[in-house]
Homo-oligomer: A and B are copies of this chain.
Amino acid sequence: MSTKPSRTLDPVPNPHPDREYVVEIKCPEFTALCPVTGQPDFATITFKYVPGPSIVELKSLKLYIWSFRDEGHFHEDVTNTMLKDFVKMIQPRKLEVIGEFGVRGGIYTTVKADYEEGK
């Protein structure tokens, strides 16, 4: 029943490219499938970035988050994939992505990845 939404993050021209400022976006409604068991995983994904030429359009981010719903991903993989997609499509000066995953088999997992332009 779920139609696959797009895997793109739409850039919107940064309305204030002359300024260095910080945007923090928290998405508590991420879900994907476990690549091993095929069972649902849930996570809160947080993006914290300093915009470069663009900012991310929130509706496209919502669809992007949604696009993982029927795919299998390791926690570490999906967190870094999001980091790389965001860097490629939005070109931030700095970015941190944090994935906090729901308990599985009595185990809690959190993954943190970051990026800085020119490093």
How many angstroms from the CA of A81 to the CA of B16 in the assembled complex?
8
Q: Cβ of B70 and Cβ of A105 under 8 Å apart? A: no
Instruction: Give 1 or 0 for each of A53-79: 1 = CB within 8 Å of chain B CB.
Output: 001011101100110011110111101
Q: B39 and A104: CB pair below 8 A?
A: no
Question: Chain A contact residues: over half helix, strand or loop, or mixed?
Answer: mixed
CB proximity of A106 to chain B, nearest CB, Å:
4
Copies of this chain present in the complex amount to 10
* Interface set, chain A 1-19, CB cutoff 8 A to B: 1-3, 12, 14-16, 19
A70 CB contacts on chain B under 8 angstroms: 1-2, 70
Tally of contact residues, A, Cβ under 8 A: 61
With A24-B110, A25-B108 as given contacts, are A72 and B1 in contact (CB-CB < 8 Å)? yes
Kindly identify which residue among B23, B37, B72, B74 contacts A109, using a CB–CB cutoff of 8 Å: B23
Determine whether the beta carbon of B107 is less than 8 Å from that of A106: no
- Tell me if A57 and B76 are in contact (CB < 8 A): no
Partner of A28, one of B39, B57, B76, B102: B102
In angstroms, Cα B33 to Cα A62, docked, is 14
In the bound complex, residues from chain B placing their C-beta under 8 Å from that of A69 are 40
